[in-house]
A and B are shown apart, each in its own frame.
Chain A
Amino acid sequence: MKSISIITWMVLLLLTIASAMFSNAHGIYIIPIIMTLAAFKFIGVAFQFMELKKAHPIWKSLVFIYLIVIITLILIIK
């Protein structure tokens, strides 16, 4: 097992627990924080577990563009 994979996995679990805890809090920054944590987890899975970090820059860019568009639209509408 690669140590970077183990670290990524543990960080992902911590971010998941943090997201659930933040959902019980109140404030205008809660939703952007929860969605940002989701974006970090998404990037962790895509780049580490799916090894997108080794791929051509266009594939990496598409993931970032997708995340920025979806999360921005969700935050604007919400």
Chain B
Amino acid sequence: MKTIINYKNIYYPPGGILLWIIIYLELITFGIALIAMVYYGKEEPSLFHNSRLMLNSTYGMVNTIFLLTSGFFMASAVNELKANALQKSKTYLLITILFGFLFLVLKSIEYTGKLDEGLDMSYNSFFTFYWSLTLFHVIHVIVGLVILISVYYGLKKPKTTIEDVEAGAAFWHMCDLIWLLLFPVIYLIF
């Protein structure tokens, strides 16, 4: 599985050019939505502040830690694969997937609590943004986990390349990047 890629070439960023175009498009989409949320928050500051206080920022913080830890093990899995340590790489990939699932479990607990309190999408404009943005992100995490599971089983096949694994890793890290912007805006600044 050894391969030499010149990442300095503009057409070969780590993960592949197509994935990086997708990453920038996703980041721009979420960025515009966050700016819209801040704009609406400026219109109704007390509503956004009181609604933000209804969120459990500890959940948000722990979920950030889960995703960052998952991203760390993903990066380690890619590094081990490049060093031809396949078994270690697979172990790290499994840990990556585990932390991804932990993120989803905690998000489910948080969502259940909100729904039990009646804080659904139509409750107010803050929660419309909260549900839209976090659910859209959760969909990305689920897709990312499906990709990682397929990468894990793909590692058994000799035709799987490092580029394939790097592409999956880049998508997974993109979920981190999006969350790193969602967490402070939704849970902390209003």
A-to-B contact residues, CB < 8 Å: 1-2, 5-6, 8-9, 12-13, 16-17, 19-20, 22-23, 31, 34-35, 37-38, 41-42, 45-46, 48-52, 54-56, 58-59, 62, 66, 69-70, 73-74, 77-78
Contacts and interface: CB of A to CB of B under 8 A. Distances in A.
A50 B15 contact: yes
Contacts of B176: 45, 49
B13 A56 contact: yes
Contact of A9 (B69, B170, B185): B69
Contacts of B61: 16-17, 19-20
Given A19-B188, A78-B41, A2 B76 contact: yes
A49 B185 contact: no
Is chain A's binding surface mostly helix, strand, loop or mixed?
Answer: helix
B38 A49 contact: no
B27 interface: yes
A51 B14 contact: yes
B187 interface: yes
A45 B14 contact: no
Interface string B86-127: 000000000000000000000000000000000000000000
Is chain B's binding surface mostly helix, strand, loop or mixed?
Answer: helix
Interface stretch (B28-36, B131-139, B150-158): B28-36
Contacts of A52: 13-14
A33 to B, nearest CB: 10
A54 B7 contact: yes
Interface in B6-47: 7-10, 13-15, 20, 24, 27-28, 31, 34-35, 38-39, 41-42
Interface in B134-183: 169-170, 173, 176-177, 180-181, 183
